[in-house]
A and B are shown apart, each in its own frame.
Chain A
Amino acid sequence: MTPPRIELKSSPHMKQASSVEQIMRNVVLALLPVCGFAVYHFGISALALMATTTLVCVLTEQLFTRLSGKPSTISDYSAVITGLLLALTLPPAFPLWMAALSGFFAISLGKMLFGGLGFNPFNPALIGRAFATAAFPEASSTWTQAGLPERFSEFLPSTLALPFTTPASVDAYTTATPLGDWKFGDVHAPAWDLFTGMTPGSLGETSALIILLAGLYLIARRMLDWRIPAAVLGGAFVTAALFYAVDPDHFPTPWFVLLSGGMMLGAVFMASDMSSSPVTPAGVWIYGLLIGFLAVIIRFFGGLPEGVMYAILLGNAMVPLIERYTQPRTYGKRGRRGV
């Protein structure tokens, strides 16, 4: 009799059916309606922008793994997510060559130089956006009207600007976003328009409704830590409400703060980036509340109307410190960290 082949392995001998690819695929799936609305809203320029950043992000990741002799990691979908998220933070008429450069820096500087997926201390898409803001300030803050009749037949003039040239004038189409209107013109967009997204803005930040639904889907599938968006939005709301209570003539309503600009997109899809957010339950709350607070402070007192990007990047930077002081209390130990 031949002896049976016996397999030796360490416990546990069972696994919950979830994988990194599955989580990332679901995030991509949840982003699709947001992307779809961006195309509906801003037309083929938006589509070209998303395609460019996604392609560049994936190729950059492939290039870096190839150069370091490691196995390819593009099948985990995380580069796709970075590409899509970066595009969603950009204005519709953003020139493609600038978007490509931003995508390259998002993945190289924001992710691969730290060791790839899981090792990035900052959200790579926001690193890309921060690069865009710094390198191309004008294009990064020039907004076009939404729902232009020719949006499906023609690119916006600046979209196809030649590399390293100044974009053609788009004055005919430019407009201000609701945040800009408030900051520089004291005009308040109706909350309902902000909620449904029928306003100018970056590709993916206009519709709070769609972002919320996408977030709820991910929460239901247990692929998004609900505490992070709850804390970010809660922190922003409370901070804004305090200012509004003190001086309602000068500051916008807390609802306006929640529904305008990148607040929703940031809370649901950016701050919640697993790699660059805390793993400790108490830390997650502190981190989220801090981002909400910082975003409002930067918006109210900073030079630019928006503050979510910097708030999240600052929150990311605080993560090691936050985690240090929020380690869970171990069973049978009196204090945290067993002291």
Chain B
Amino acid sequence: MHRFDFRRLRRWELALAAFALSTPFLLPALAPVSSSLVSPAMAETVEKPDTSRIVSIGGAVTEIIYALGEENRLVGRDSTSTYPEAAAKLPNVGYMRQLAPEGIIAVNPAAIVAIEGSGPPEALSVLKQANIPFTTIGETYDEAGILAKIRAVGAFLGVPDKAEALVKSVEQDLDAALADSAARPESERKRVLFILSTQDGKIMASGTGTAASGIIELAGAVNAAGKFPGYKPLTDEAIVEAKPDVILMMDRGGAHGMSADQLFALPALSLTPAAKSKALVRMDGLHLLGFGPRTASAIRELNTAIYGKKTNASQ
């Protein structure tokens, strides 16, 4: 054992390691290109997809389908589609980012329409194999984005005229709400901090490029956490530094989340201007962040919550 111990073992070990490391590189090359045992023998794209039975993924997409009056085609929805109440009665195929392909196939849809960011990719590839057309609706957090969403869903359902009518009314509504917000002079704009969660005292705030940041700006306020992209946990000092006048949170209903008193008792938040006036605004998550047909009312509600009833105090 002692004589050839070191060298030989090492070579042997290296050989095994090399094998183990090379296997995954060699195998996909041997694996069939399609990860399916069943090779679909159907036409790849149909001229006009059948949209008589659809699964809708994403709260805003589902809302738009209802607003277009096309809800009778819905056979399933994801867990973020909670509005209107009728939608909540549809079979729930899971969270938009964690879809289960078999669950979707189970409700037997002819097509799927989903908001950008739905997944996971593996689930989408299985659905593709099952020949269920999958349409993605893009998303940006501004007025143009909402109107584009409505048009895209309308085009998908083959009801462009209905979509244009809805675009017109939503656009008017939005323009009115935005004009109100825009009339407020820069100097009077309040700083709003959107808090996603306060897990064990770590405060997750929303930076730039998020739905929360978008709605805060549309409502004529300033995103207090506008220095970084995405959702990030903020240090206590950064929160004090952000000087929010108002704290905005999602209303999770029931006894979830903290009371205003508990929230402002957190050391970091107790030092903010918001704590002095106990300015905490809670709104329904989908209404606030959905960027769908109801966004105009969300803007008005948020604006009122931040600045009080009287619009434009400036004379």
Q: Do A and B bind each other?
A: no
Chain A contact residues, CB within 8 Å of chain B: none
